[in-house]
Amino acid sequence: MDSLYTITLYLHSWNRWAVLIAGAVVIYSAFRGLSSGSPYNNVSRKSLFYFVLTLHLQLIVGLLLYFVASPVTTHALSDFGAAMKDSTTRFWAVEHSFLNIIAIGVAQTGSILVKRKTADRDKHRLSLIWAGIALLLIIVMIPMGMMGVDRPWFRF
Report which DSSP code applies to 119: S
For residue 40, being part of any structural domain is answered with yes
Tell me the pLDDT tens digit for each residue of 93-109.
999 999 999 999 999 99
For residue 146, being part of any structural domain is answered with no
For residue 17, being part of any structural domain is answered with yes
For residue 149, being part of any structural domain is answered with no
> Which residue did the predictor score with more confidence, 1 or 26?
26
Range of the domain at 106: 3-141
For residue 156, being part of any structural domain is answered with no
Tell me the pLDDT tens digit for each residue of 141-153.
887 756 667 676 7
For residue 55, being part of any structural domain is answered with yes
H/E stretch holding 5 reads helix 3-36
Helix (H, G, I), strand (E, B) or coil at 85: helix
What does each C-alpha distance from 63 to 48, 73, 75, 101, 147 come to in angstroms? 23, 10, 15, 10, 21
For residue 148, being part of any structural domain is answered with no
Q: Is the pTM of this model over 0.75?
A: yes
Contact 124/35 with Cβ under 8 angstroms? no
For residue 27, being part of any structural domain is answered with yes
Number of domains into which the chain is organized: 1
